[in-house]
Amino acid sequence: MARQFFVGGNFKMNGSVETIKKIVGYLNDAKLDDNVEVVIAPPTLYLLLAREHLKPGLQIAAQNVFDRPNGAFTGEISVDQLKDSNIKWTLVGHSERRTILREEDDFVAAKTKAALDGGVSVILCIGESLEEREADKTIEVVTKQLKAVSDKISDWSKIVIAYEPIWAIGTGKVASIAQAQEVHAAIRSWLKKEVSEEAAEKTRIIYGGSVSEKNCKDLSTQSDIDGFLVGGASLKPAFVDIINSRL
């Protein structure tokens, strides 16, 4: 069975009540490819606003989640709170959290496990820096990030892996089609070897890193690219073109 194409929109720390309603509005009004799973991730403050206004069939993700169920963790959000708010997805391990907030692989893995154990699906972000890319350590870095997760979980059916080369996020630079496909294929090969053939076949691996309406069609043709995690472009009407990249 073919993997369902997946397009996520990460709004990051952008938006207001007015702009979130506007973005949701053009998604609601657009003719979207019925074969694509669409998930948007507004800032935490606007999760319920987006949930209230987004049409059925489109889903909401948190941008982060904590690995404890409750307690004295100021500023964090729990899996149970997401479920209580009917938020069924969360991002975990985005490079901005790994680099700026120093989140280690083990912590990202613990949050992934907590989300899955609590019934929330995960967009697991992995990727290498420019220095690591130039040192030919890309596969080593991304598989190390994956191994930290596989050491804590066994079921990958509720995980979408987002490969986001750090050097291509928000820079306007994009991995070439060949570069992106090469890493996606290596990730799938790792899943087959280290997890299972079923996980390798069924797990969706999506690309992020300055995805736009200009490059999405070419990227979407690759056999191991199962969709996109979109940053800045998800705040614009062009997001619809990315969702419909296979039409």
Q: Judge whether 164 counts as a catalytic residue.
A: yes
From residue 159, alpha-carbon distances to 3, 46, 149, 247 in Å are: 13, 23, 11, 25
pLDDT at 1 over 60: no
Q: How many domains does the chain have?
A: 1
Distance CA(51)–CA(42), nearest Å, equals 10
Quick: pLDDT tens for 41-66.
999 999 999 999 999 999 999 999 99
Instruction: Compute the average pLDDT of residues 16-30.
Output: 97
With 0.85 as the threshold, say if the pTM is over it: yes
pLDDT for residue 171 is more than 90: no
The question of whether 131 is a catalytic residue gets the answer no
Encode pLDDT of 114-127 as tens digits: 999 999 999 999 99
Active-site annotation holder among 37, 164, 184, 213: 164
Write down the catalytic residue from 94, 103, 128, 213: 94
Give the side-chain half-sphere CA count within 13 A for 207. Answer: 31
Contact 222, 206 (CB under 8 A): no
Range of 127's domain?
5-243
200: Cβ contacts below 8 Å, ≥ 6 apart: 188, 189, 191, 192
Check which CATH number belongs to the domain holding 96 and give it.
Answer: 3.20.20.70
